[in-house]
A and B are shown apart, each in its own frame.
Chain A
């Protein structure tokens, strides 16, 4: 974090004058998702000219919130049923059209499932090579991103005229939504000759897992379980601990593959990347693919009965114990 502050100071005054950044806003119909607020922070490091694009099937509240985000200068909104279910083809087409009108130097979105679906397609429309999941900005063309499941960090410089970038949310602070609103609100340009719905993909249904607990991506505490839990039923002891800590529950790939919990709880290279203040890994051995998703957590606790488990090498506090005894006791003592 320190590092990105330094980077901002180094170039903000000298070279950001020509940058015009577009951020695609992801929302749930009511609120801007926290990951987008991180992407807006990244955008603010690149330029003082930041446009937010809100596409929806009718989400006035989100447009209002967007106009109050610190760092945003303009909010474009596109209300059409074609954008209601986040169909990537329609959204990518919209972003490309907005870019054709305004001519941005950078197009950003969070590195969520949606951002990853839409932005490479946007890049295709202008034939540029996108840059995925940046963790730092060095200058307007130079970005830092993890490769090989976070086991190496690459600094890359883009030679493309437009930089199409997804932002790893855990690497940037969230932009603040305040009351000193000054962003202008305008409708996004509409197409003359084509419908907003390209008709390539039809959304049918969604099956979202419901939870009262905080979202994994923004939770302050995450209690995560692995194969050693033995069953989905046993995840209840983790839920009890998470509830006491006001945290979220996550899982390793092994626990998901075994069917203990649904796959949207998976943390790792192929799942979600998290960086909470406290990460409690329970019965997780610590394969590199899992570490890729959580090793930037502030404090890591590992509870495992195998003293040789690799998770202990990254844990700030390791407890070698049987989780079925240790977790209920821990829940009681907190």
Chain B
């Protein structure tokens, strides 16, 4: 079976972001960018399924401006077979609905047995793309997967999902869309030899137009601000002092 895996280039998770002076976004110039951590987990899972002989081919996809192709090289170095870059103009916002429509067009072309995506991107924190894509395709969805077991006949997969209060196991018919949670696996590091090899793998570039998808945003960003600052930093001397202050000052116990 063939797997399609979506990856997004985002500001590195360890970077402390700064709001732009015009209050319409955050500063992305000269900021370290990386593959969205949840997407690394999705790529890793696809590669493991290939190593187990369950999947034959893994196709990595990204939607973004020119530099986004870097993270496709990372996905190829992790073990994806080929990549598709859906290139958009620098600075364009592509919302989850538009991403899902682009992915739907690629699903029609590639006919994968499953699409794996991260459960959310750590920049917009939307947690929507996989569910929207499954809805558009009318495929089963398994969001927040922490274990994926494809059946022998490849007609279905058993998925353990992280839900409020614990875990649940569901069986989805394939083809299906899955979004992956943090505890699915530990992504491998990219080695230099693999990175060299990845340069020889196929990387196709297309545009939303060529796929017939309109990516005009539906949400207008009116303002982006810093959150209200907490005034913390006060230290207490002892447990006694803490109890006293919680009782008499904060009045929370």
Return the CB mask of B92-124 against A: 1 if under 8 Å, else 0: 000111101000000000000000000110111
Closest A residue to B162 using CB positions: A263
Task: Say yes or no: A123-B97 contact (C-beta < 8 A), given A200-B172, A263-B162, A298-B252.
Answer: yes
Cα distance A158–B253 in the bound complex, in angstroms: 42
Return the CB mask of B141-185 against A: 1 if under 8 Å, else 0: 111101000000000001000111111111111001000011100
Q: Is A29 an interface residue (CB 8 A)?
A: no
Of the candidates A121, A150, A206, A314, the one whose C-beta lies within 8 Å of that of B131 is A121
A129 and B232 contacting across the interface, CB-CB below 8 Å? no
B164 and A112 contacting across the interface, CB-CB below 8 Å? yes
Chain B positions within 8 Å of A203 at CB level: 168-170
B235 and A312 contacting across the interface, CB-CB below 8 Å? yes
**B contacts with A: majority SS:** mixed
Of the candidates B181, B220, B230, B236, the one whose C-beta lies within 8 Å of that of A295 is B230
Q: Is B206 an interface residue (CB 8 A)?
A: no
Q: Is B227 an interface residue (CB 8 A)?
A: yes
Chain B positions within 8 Å of A209 at CB level: 165-166
A318 and B232 contacting across the interface, CB-CB below 8 Å? yes
Cα distance A244–B182 in the bound complex, in angstroms: 32
Closest A residue to B186 using CB positions: A257
In the assembled complex, the CB of B157 is this many whole angstroms from the nearest CB of chain A, namely 10
Task: Say yes or no: A129-B234 contact (C-beta < 8 A), given A151-B16, A154-B221, A333-B243.
Answer: no
Chain A positions within 8 Å of B135 at CB level: 92, 120-125
Of the candidates A148, A205, A329, the one whose C-beta lies within 8 Å of that of B11 is A148
Chain A positions within 8 Å of B142 at CB level: 201
Closest B residue to A166 using CB positions: B127
Chain B positions within 8 Å of A157 at CB level: 219-220, 222
**CB-CB contacts below 8 Å: A109-168 with B:** 112-114, 116-125, 127-133, 142, 146-160
In the assembled complex, the CB of B227 is this many whole angstroms from the nearest CB of chain A, namely 5
Return the CB mask of B224-236 against A: 1 if under 8 Å, else 0: 1111001011111
Of the candidates A206, A314, A316, A319, the one whose C-beta lies within 8 Å of that of B166 is A206
**CB-CB contacts below 8 Å: A241-295 with B:** 245, 253, 256-257, 262-264, 269-270, 272, 277-278, 288-289, 295
Chain A positions within 8 Å of B250 at CB level: 278, 298-299, 316-317
Q: Is A313 an interface residue (CB 8 A)?
A: yes
Q: Is B190 an interface residue (CB 8 A)?
A: no
A121 and B246 contacting across the interface, CB-CB below 8 Å? no
Chain A positions within 8 Å of B240 at CB level: 333
Of the candidates A148, A150, A253, A313, the one whose C-beta lies within 8 Å of that of B232 is A313
Closest A residue to B239 using CB positions: A329
In the assembled complex, the CB of B233 is this many whole angstroms from the nearest CB of chain A, namely 6
In the assembled complex, the CB of A285 is this many whole angstroms from the nearest CB of chain B, namely 13
Closest A residue to B163 using CB positions: A113
In the assembled complex, the CB of B195 is this many whole angstroms from the nearest CB of chain A, namely 27
Contact-residue bracket for chain B: 35 or more
B166 and A207 contacting across the interface, CB-CB below 8 Å? yes
B226 and A121 contacting across the interface, CB-CB below 8 Å? no
Chain A positions within 8 Å of B11 at CB level: 148
**CB-CB contacts below 8 Å: B194-233 with A:** 217-227, 230, 232-233
**A contacts with B: majority SS:** mixed
Q: A206-B163, A277-B252 are in contact. List 18 more A-B contacts (CB 8 A).
A: A113-B144, A123-B128, A124-B97, A129-B95, A129-B97, A131-B219, A132-B126, A148-B26, A150-B227, A155-B223, A157-B220, A158-B218, A204-B170, A205-B168, A208-B167, A316-B250, A317-B246, A334-B253
Chain A positions within 8 Å of B168 at CB level: 85, 203-207
Chain A positions within 8 Å of B139 at CB level: 200
B140 and A201 contacting across the interface, CB-CB below 8 Å? yes
A202 and B97 contacting across the interface, CB-CB below 8 Å? no
Chain B positions within 8 Å of A317 at CB level: 234-236, 242, 245-246, 250
Of the candidates A153, A204, A257, A288, the one whose C-beta lies within 8 Å of that of B226 is A153
Task: Say yes or no: A148-B125 contact (C-beta < 8 A), given A203-B170, A312-B235.
Answer: yes
A313 and B233 contacting across the interface, CB-CB below 8 Å? yes
A114 and B164 contacting across the interface, CB-CB below 8 Å? yes
Cα distance A313–B127 in the bound complex, in angstroms: 29
Task: Say yes or no: A263-B183 contact (C-beta < 8 A), given A148-B125, A277-B252.
Answer: yes
Task: Say yes or no: A299-B252 contact (C-beta < 8 A), given A207-B167, A289-B13, A330-B242.
Answer: yes
Q: Is A1 an interface residue (CB 8 A)?
A: no
Cα distance A123–B216 in the bound complex, in angstroms: 16
Of the candidates B16, B17, B140, B226, the one whose C-beta lies within 8 Å of that of A200 is B140
A–B Cβ pairs within 8 angstroms, 6 of them: A153-B225, A200-B139, A204-B170, A299-B250, A312-B235, A334-B243
Task: Say yes or no: A147-B165 contact (C-beta < 8 A), given A201-B142, A204-B170.
Answer: no
